[in-house]
Amino acid sequence: MAEYLARALARDDEISFASAGTNTHSRIEPSDGTRQVMKEIGIDLGDHRSQPVWEVGADADVIYALSQEHLDAMASQWPDRADDIHLLRLDGASIADPYGLDLESYRKARDQIEVAINERAATGWDR
């Protein structure tokens, strides 16, 4: 959700976005819940597939994590990159992974991600 929301909401053409997970395998389709709540706001995930952050994150300039657990996992894997890894929410709160939960949980996560991206964009993606 975060990658597609960032692409739709970010006002800076100089920034590129990619999503990756700390606990996923390559090429897994988005869940039905993810597809449905994104479609509700007019975003089609197309042929998006998952990718592990360990395969793509090392080259990122900045990494935003949705939860403290994800941040901690990446910081322990890349201790020299710890200053480049931040929680997406400016207030430092985690966004719960809705995987396997009801649609309302997916909507809540989507909406929290949207607010966090808008806040980040408003600050110029400052860390």
Q: How do residues 33-75 score in pLDDT, each as one tens digit?
A: 999 999 999 999 999 999 999 888 888 999 999 999 999 999 9
Residue 104 domain flag: yes
Question: Does the pLDDT at position 18 exceed 80?
Answer: yes
**124 pLDDT band (50/70/90 cuts)?**
confident
CATH code, domain carrying 55? 3.40.50.2300
Residue 87 domain flag: yes
Structure-block tokens of residue 59? 């080259």
Note down the domain range covering 95. Answer: 2-122
**127 pLDDT band (50/70/90 cuts)?**
low
CA separation for the pair 123, 9 (Å, rounded):
13
**Residue whose token pair is 């966004």:** 95
Domain count, the chain: 1
Identify any residues that bridge with 85 across adjacent strands, giving them in sequence order: 63
Residue 127 domain flag: no
Look up the pTM and report it: 0.91
User: Which whole number is the average pLDDT over 94-121?
Assistant: 96
Helices (H), 1-127: 2-9, 32-40, 53-56, 68-77, 103-122
Are 103 and 33 in contact, with CB atoms under 8 Å apart?
A: yes
